[in-house]
């Protein structure tokens, strides 16, 4: 088990390196010269003289391979340079905004777990009942409505019309309600359907029949046996979505004026703030990798049918 | 044992998640109560809340992005202020005199002016500010007065003198800008005096002080108790940072905002909807700039004046303005609107006239072969490319309309949406056939405009490259900028603008205006004459 985890953790290094390489190349392939982007963001007229000076300062006059090596060394020290726009260290700016984003992502995950697990489970157990129809409708709605539109609708009804929540900003739990719901609805849609399908599948398994013949109570079978196994794909989904959520709050942060790092990133894209874009891509890559690892480990604990040994042997 | 472990891990993961979420809330709980208390006092004091799309940035009078002009102008003041119609009025300078050769500017500073921290405003601090700006002069090279500046001097306590290398008449206009020539108090300067790297405090002479600020969330300005002029009627201005235009409208409808002000801050649909609701006051400013199309004469096809005129005659500006900007912009006949200095001249408008357009093309030798829809000359089709900013819905819609309109006169227009930075890059390099362009507005124009007509590297001069009178035009521009004779200047401007209009390398489409929407409680709202200034000079509230 330990060697498996160690292997997985070691594997992170080449994956992250590969991600930084792709990111580095993509930025260099873009038609915009970073020196020129810097000057445009600073509203300085790019004369050849200043351009040359900036290129030298950013190390853009070096061969690509050296530039890449320098980027990697800097990133390993969490040095992403200074933002072209604010002239502040990118890492400081990102970490200052991260708590707001994490708060939103975590509360969305929690809400989606709290709603989708009972809902998905009940709609499988009481297949074709009222609750199942409701969960289907909710999933249909959640999966198809664009997030920004849902955000506007919620603001319109719950803030403007009913005056229950503030329209924008961050500060109290009231501020958190609408953005959390906007973010979690799509997740609820996915998890509910996932769990429902998974529970229905497990219910066909022979161990359920066996348990029934042993006279174990239906409730015990469902909760202790079926749900425990059926929840596995939901956990995978959760892990995948944790990374997606942290990077995908952009639209919601924009709509609700939530001061997180998604919004910071939108500004960076519009202004071609390359150091920020670089940091963001790097963080996103790390997040996805780490979340995947965590999911795999949790799965191993949760589902005894996946063995450590089997994993390590391959 | 194993089971226990599994559960423990799950429970701990869940509790970490839970506590993270709760921590986020509880940490904020205290600020909320503080905010609520502030909101309660708000009821009793005169205050205005508005939204701004971006964080106000650092309050440093000598830097650009991301500092927002509206906020900088609330704290820092100029020597001279720009008033309606381009009139230059005394501000921190009570009076000024210009030497006969147009090189020496002597300013008598207003006495008894104090910074918000109580320190005096005098010639020494003016010089210190100029020195800080000049230390970083490369960043300000776009600004004429900085390029022309030779030396500055504090003659006595209240006399400040600046000497230019060569005469440059718009020096006074340039001094009315919001940045970089406004004044920071002594306490704001860093040890080495280099403000480009940051300031210690935002101490200014302006009517407002920044008293509460949370990056990306809000900024609160209150009255400067040491203000030399008439104190503002309202006590507090709160700027909420709301990046999304639709959210801004909803926050306004809910009453979280008292006014929405700016250029393009809400969609034209929303503006009209708020206007038609009859519940709010809406208003449009004087033109702040002209939305134009640059027809690049360095392209062989567009080098022919008749082709440019055909394109100018060939589309219906009025319909474009009504259909696309919903009447929020006004049809533009002149390259510069008439509310700038020296621009109130009569030029012949180039009207929508399809017959004239086709006649020009025929005359230029672009014939329509039988069975074809695109005109040809010497076997070459009349095909052009228009580049536009793909994130700008107005440019996109205008590009599509032009494509349809010009197709009707036999011109094939390919339209290419680009990222803004790429569009600017292409424009500066002169790599375009047709491009959108907007002039700078007050107080930059008309001198900044004629400057880019002559100076390469901005795309406007490039568009005029192949004009037969290009050299003469550049000569006139240089004369206008250095002339010390008012009448001569007026004449030169008249001639330059007339030539540009006749040549149609710049096709004016519409005048851009600022919009404002406000609740009944807001009174005396007046648009500032300076495009970048804040609008809170006379504003009042009824409660």
Chain B residue numbers touching A263 (CB-CB < 8 A): 216, 243
Give the residue from chain B lying closest to A235, CA to CA. B10
Q: What percent of chain B has pLDDT over 90?
A: 73
Q: What single-letter DSSP state applies at residue A226? A: I
- Taking CA–CA distances from B25, the nearest residue in chain A reads A173
Q: Once rounded to an integer, what is the mean pLDDT over residues A214-223?
A: 82
In this predicted model, what pLDDT tens digit does every residue of A177-196 receive, in sequence order? 999 999 999 889 989 998 99
DSSP A89: B
Please name the residue of chain B whose CA is at the shortest distance from the CA of residue A45: B142
The pLDDT-based confidence of B50 (bands split at 50, 70, 90) is: very high
CB neighbourhood size of A236 (10 A): 16
- Which of B21, B66, B217 comes nearest A110 by C-beta? B21
DSSP string, B106-138: EEEEPTT-B-TTSPBP-HHHHHHHHHHHHHTGG
Residue whose structure tokens are 């964080």: B55
Cα–chain-centroid distance for residue B42? 31
Q: What is the ipTM of this complex?
A: 0.82
Contacts of B484 (CB under 8 A, 6+ apart): B98, B100, B101, B102, B167, B169
Residues B170-189: what's their mean pLDDT? 94
pLDDT digits (tens, 9 = 90+) for B369-391: 989 999 999 999 999 999 999 88
> Which secondary-structure segment (H or E) carries B7?
helix B2-44
Q: In this structure, are residues B537 and B528 in contact, taking their beta carbons and an 8 Å threshold? A: yes
Contacts of B64 in chain A (CB under 8 A): 42-44
Look up tokens 């769990």; give the residue: A195
Task: Return the higher-pLDDT residue of A97 and B20.
Answer: A97
Partner residue facing B243 (CB), from A97, A155, A263: A263
Task: Label residue A163 exposed, middle or buried (CB < 10 Å: 0-12, 13-18, 19+).
Answer: exposed
DSSP-assigned states of every residue in B190-218: -TT--GGG--S----SSSEEEEEEETTTE
CB spacing of A257 vs B241 below 8 angstroms? yes
CA B205 to CA B187: how far, in whole Å? Answer: 12
Nearest residue in chain A measured CA to CA from B255: A160
Nearest to B266 by CA among B285, B241, B236, B243: B243
Residue A203: pLDDT band with limits 50, 70, 90 = confident
Q: With an 8 Å Cβ cutoff, are B243 and A302 in contact? A: no
- pLDDT digit string, tens, across residues B251-261: 999 999 999 99
**Nearest chain B alpha carbon to A149:** B246
The CA distance from A32 to the nearest CA of chain B, in Å, is: 6
| Distance between CA atoms of residues A314 and B447, nearest Å | 74
Question: Which of A106, A255, A257 comes nearest B21 by C-beta?
Answer: A106
B422/A109 touch (CB, cutoff 8 Å), yes or no: no
Count CB neighbours of B508 within 10 A. 24
**What's the pLDDT band for B24 if we cut at 50, 70, 90?**
very low
- Whether residue A270 has pLDDT greater than 50: yes
Half-sphere exposure of B147 (CA within 13 A, CB side): 12
Q: Identify which has the larger pLDDT, A257 or A29.
A: A257
Among candidates B24, B65, B197 on the partner chain, residue whose Cβ is nearest the Cβ of A99: B24
pLDDT, mean over chain B: 89
B38 touches chain A (CB under 8 A): no
pLDDT per residue over A290-299, tens digit each?
888 888 888 7
Gap between the terminal Cα atoms of chain A:
13
Residue B1 has pLDDT above 80, yes or no: no
> How is residue B270 written in tokens?
């929303």
φ, ψ dihedrals at B435, nearest 5°: -150, 155
Q: Indicate the burial class of A29 (C-beta count within 10 angstroms; 0-12, 13-18, 19 or more).
A: exposed
In angstroms, the separation between the Cα of residue A268 and the nearest Cα of chain B is 11
**Which pair of tokens denotes residue B500?**
């540009």
pLDDT digits (tens, 9 = 90+) for A139-166: 999 888 888 899 999 999 999 999 999 9
pLDDT in tens, B488-521: 999 999 999 999 999 999 999 999 999 999 999 9
B478 contact A CB<8A: no
pLDDT of residue A301: 76
Question: What are residue A194's DSSP bridge partners?
Answer: none
For chain B, first and last CA: distance in Å?
Answer: 70
Are A37 and B421 inside 8 Å of each other by CB? Answer: yes
What's the pLDDT at A262?
Answer: 83
Residue B34's pLDDT is 45
DSSP SS3 for B50: strand
Rounded-to-integer distance, Cα B426 and Cα B282, Å: 37
Report pLDDT for B26: 43
Better-predicted residue by pLDDT, A308 or B133 = B133
- The single-letter DSSP state of residue B140 is G
The count of residues in chain A is: 314
Diameter of chain B measured on Cα atoms: 97
Over residues B112-122, the mean pLDDT reads 95
Residue A307: the pLDDT is 57
Q: Which residue of A has its CA nearest to B139?
A: A44
Contact criterion met (CB < 8 Å) for B64 and A270: no
Partner-chain contact B6 A301, CB within 8 Å: yes
Chain A residues within an 8 Å CB radius of B425: 31-33, 36
Of B21, B241, B419, the CB nearest to A103: B21
- pLDDT: which is higher, A305 or B456: B456
Whether B254 contacts chain A with CB within 8 A: yes
- What distance in Å separates the CA atoms of residue B455 and residue B344, rounded to the nearest whole number? 24
Report the gap between the CA of B96 and the closest CA in chain A (Å). Answer: 30
The span from the CA of A239 to the CA of B483, in Å, is 70
Task: Give B435's strand partners.
Answer: B294, B387
Residues of B whose CB is below 8 A from A107 = 21, 24
Report the pLDDT value the prediction gives residue B196, as an integer from 0 to 100. 87
What would the mean pLDDT of A58-77 be, rounded to a whole number? Answer: 87
CB-based contacts of A307: which residues, under 8 Å, 6+ apart?
Answer: none
Window 286-345 of B: residues touching A by CB (8 A cutoff) are none
Predicted confidence band of residue A309 (pLDDT cuts 50, 70, 90): low
Can you tell me the distance from the alpha carbon of A43 to that of A37, in angstroms, rounded to the nearest whole number? 10
Put simply, whether B11 touches A (Cβ < 8 Å) is no
Residue B350 pLDDT: 92
* Nearest-CB residue to B246 (from A32, A152, A170): A152
Question: What is the per-residue pLDDT for A9?
Answer: 84
Strand ranges (E), B352-477? 376-377, 380-381, 383-389, 412-418, 434-438
DSSP structure class, residue B348: -
A159 closest CB neighbour out of B20, B242, B250 = B250
**Contacts A173 to B, Cβ<8 Å:** 25, 29
User: Residue range B272-283: average pLDDT?
Assistant: 94
Percent of chain A with pLDDT over 70: 94
In sequence order, the β-bridge partners of residue B220 are: B212, B238
Chain B nearest-CA residue for A261: B216
Quick check: A264 and B216 CB within 8 A?
Answer: yes
Please say if the pLDDT value at position A55 is more than 50. yes
Query: A239, exposed or middle or buried, with CB in 10 Å at 0-12, 13-18, 19+?
Result: buried
Higher pLDDT, A235 or B533: B533
Which residue in chain B is spatially nearest to A151 when comparing CA positions? B247
CB contact under 8 A, A298 and B13: yes
Smallest Cα distance from A231 to chain B, Å: 13
Question: Does the distance separating the beta carbons of A257 and B247 come in below 8 Å?
Answer: yes
> Residue B25: its pLDDT value, please?
43
Lowest-confidence segment of A24-28, A226-230, A245-249, B88-92 by average pLDDT: A245-249
Confidence of residue B409 (pLDDT cuts 50, 70, 90): very high
Chain A residues inside the 8 Å CB shell of B215 = 96, 259
Taking the Cβ of residue B243 and every Cβ of chain A, the question of whether any pair is shorter than 8 Å is answered with yes
| Position B8 confidence tier, pLDDT thresholds 50, 70, 90 | low
Q: What is the spatial distance between Cα A192 and Cα A220, in angstroms, rounded to a whole number? A: 21
Which residue of chain B comes nearest to A267, CA vs CA? Answer: B54
Query: Cβ contact (<8 Å) for B24 and A259?
Result: no
Give the pLDDT confidence score for residue B400 in this predicted structure. 96
Give the DSSP H or E segment for A67: helix A64-76
Q: Which residues of B touch A259 (CB under 8 A)?
A: 214-217, 241
Nearest to A168 by CA among B39, B248, B29: B248
- Short-list B65, B73, B66, B59, CA closest to B211: B59
* Residue whose tokens read 């569009």: B423
Q: What is the band of A43 on the pLDDT scale with cuts at 50, 70, 90?
A: low
pTM assigned to the model: 0.85
Tell me the average pLDDT of chain A.
Answer: 84
* pLDDT value at residue B140: 83
* Number of Cβ atoms within 10 Å of the Cβ of B417: 16
B247/A46 touch (CB, cutoff 8 Å), yes or no: no
Element (H, E) at B259: strand B259-262
pLDDT of residue B129: 96
pLDDT range class, residue A304, cuts 50, 70, 90: low
Confidence of residue B141 (pLDDT cuts 50, 70, 90): confident
A310: which residues sit within 8 A by CB, 6+ positions away?
none
**Interface contacts (A, B; CB < 8 Å):** 136
Contact B422 A44 (CB under 8 A): no
């Amino acid at each position: 088990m330990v060697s498996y985890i160690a292997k997985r953790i070691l594997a992170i290094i080449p994956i992250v390196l590969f991600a930084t390489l792709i990111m580095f190349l993509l930025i260099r392939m873009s038609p915009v010269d970073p020196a020129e982007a810097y000057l445009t963001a600073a509203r300085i007229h790019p004369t050849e003289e200043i351009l040359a000076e900036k290129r030298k300062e950013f190390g853009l006059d070096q061969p690509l391979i050296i530039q890449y090596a320098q980027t990697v060394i800097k990133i390993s020290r969490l040095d992403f340079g200074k933002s072209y726009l604010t002239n502040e260290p990118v890492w400081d700016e990102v970490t200052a905004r991260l708590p707001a984003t994490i708060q939103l992502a975590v509360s969305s995950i929690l809400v989606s777990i709290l709603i989708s697990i009972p809902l998905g489970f009940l709609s499988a157990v009481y297949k074709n009942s009222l609750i199942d129809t409701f969960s289907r409708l909710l999933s249909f709605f959640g999966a198809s409505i664009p997030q920004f539109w849902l955000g506007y609708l919620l603001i319109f009804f719950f803030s403007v019309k009913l005056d229950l929540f503030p329209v924008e900003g961050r500060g109290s739990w009231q501020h958190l309600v609408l953005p959390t719901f906007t973010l979690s609805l799509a997740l609820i849609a996915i998890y509910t359907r996932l769990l429902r399908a998974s529970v229905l599948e497990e219910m066909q398994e022979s161990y359920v029949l066996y348990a029934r013949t042993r006279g174990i109570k239906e409730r015990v079978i469902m909760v202790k046996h079926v749900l425990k196994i059926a929840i596995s794909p939901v956990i995978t989904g959760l892990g995948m979505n944790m990374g997606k959520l942290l990077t995908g709050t952009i639209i919601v942060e924009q709509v609700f004026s939530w001061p997180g790092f998604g919004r910071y990133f939108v500004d960076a894209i519009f202004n071609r703030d390359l150091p920020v874009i670089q940091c963001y891509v790097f963080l996103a890559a790390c997040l996805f990798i780490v979340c995947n690892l965590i999911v795999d480990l949790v799965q191993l604990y949760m589902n005894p049918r996946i063995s450590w040994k089997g994993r390590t042997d391959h | 044992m194993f089971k226990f472990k599994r559960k423990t891990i799950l429970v701990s993961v869940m509790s970490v998640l839970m506590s993270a979420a709760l921590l986020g809330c509880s940490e904020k709980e205290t600020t909320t109560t503080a905010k609520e208390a502030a909101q309660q006092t708000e009821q009793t004091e005169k205050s205005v809340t508005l939204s701004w799309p971006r964080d106000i940035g650092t309050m440093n009078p000598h830097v650009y992005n991301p500092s927002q002009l509206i906020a900088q102008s609330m704290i820092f003041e100029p020597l001279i202020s720009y008033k309606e119609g381009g009139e230059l009025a005394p501000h921190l300078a009570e009076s000024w005199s210009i030497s006969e050769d147009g090189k020496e500017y002597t300013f008598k500073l207003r006495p008894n002016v104090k910074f918000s921290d109580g320190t005096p405003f005098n010639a020494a601090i003016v010089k210190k500010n100029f020195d800080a700006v000049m230390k970083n002069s490369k960043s300000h090279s776009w600004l004429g007065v900085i390029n022309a500046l030779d030396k500055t001097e504090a003659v006595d306590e209240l006399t400040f003198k600046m000497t230019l290398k060569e005469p440059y008449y718009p020096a006074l206009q340039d001094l009315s800008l919001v940045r970089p020539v406004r004044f920071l108090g002594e306490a704001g300067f860093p040890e080495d005096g280099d403000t480009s790297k940051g300031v210690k405090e935002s101490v200014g002479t302006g009517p407002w002080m920044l008293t509460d600020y949370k990056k990306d969330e809000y900024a609160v300005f209150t009255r400067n108790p040491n203000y030399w002029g008439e104190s503002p009627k309202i006590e507090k201005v709160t700027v909420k940072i709301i990046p999304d235009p639709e959210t801004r409208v909803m926050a306004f409808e809910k009453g979280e905002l008292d006014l929405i002000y700016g250029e393009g801050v809400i969609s034209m649909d929303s503006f009209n909807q708020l206007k038609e609701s009859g519940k709010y006051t809406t208003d449009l400013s004087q033109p702040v700039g002209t939305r134009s199309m640059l027809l690049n004469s360095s392209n062989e096809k567009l080098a022919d004046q008749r082709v440019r005129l055909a394109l100018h005659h060939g589309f219906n500006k009025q319909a474009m303005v009504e259909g696309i900007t919903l009447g929020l912009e006004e049809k533009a006949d002149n390259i510069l609107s008439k509310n700038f200095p020296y621009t109130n001249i009569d030029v012949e408008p180039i009207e929508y006239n399809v017959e004239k357009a086709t006649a020009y093309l025929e005359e230029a030798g672009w014939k329509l072969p039988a069975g074809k829809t695109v005109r040809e000359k010497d076997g070459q089709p009349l095909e052009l490319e228009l580049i536009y900013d793909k994130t700008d819905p107005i440019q996109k819609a205008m590009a599509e309309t032009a494509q349809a309109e010009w197709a009707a006169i036999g011109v094939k227009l390919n339209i290419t949406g680009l990222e803004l930075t790429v569009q600017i890059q292409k424009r500066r390099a002169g790599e375009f056939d047709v491009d959108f362009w907007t002039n700078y507005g007050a107080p930059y124009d008309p001198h900044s405009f004629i400057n880019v007509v002559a100076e390469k590297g901005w795309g406007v001069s490039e568009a005029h490259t192949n004009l037969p009178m290009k050299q003469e035009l550049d000569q006139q521009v240089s004369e206008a900028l250095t002339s010390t004779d008012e009448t001569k200047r007026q004449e030169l401007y008249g001639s330059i603008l007339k030539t540009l209009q006749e040549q149609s390398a710049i096709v004016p489409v519409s005048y851009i205006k600022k919009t404002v929407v406000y609740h009944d409680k807001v009174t005396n709202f007046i648009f500032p004459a300076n495009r970048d200034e804040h609008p809170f000079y006379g504003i009042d509230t009824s409660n």
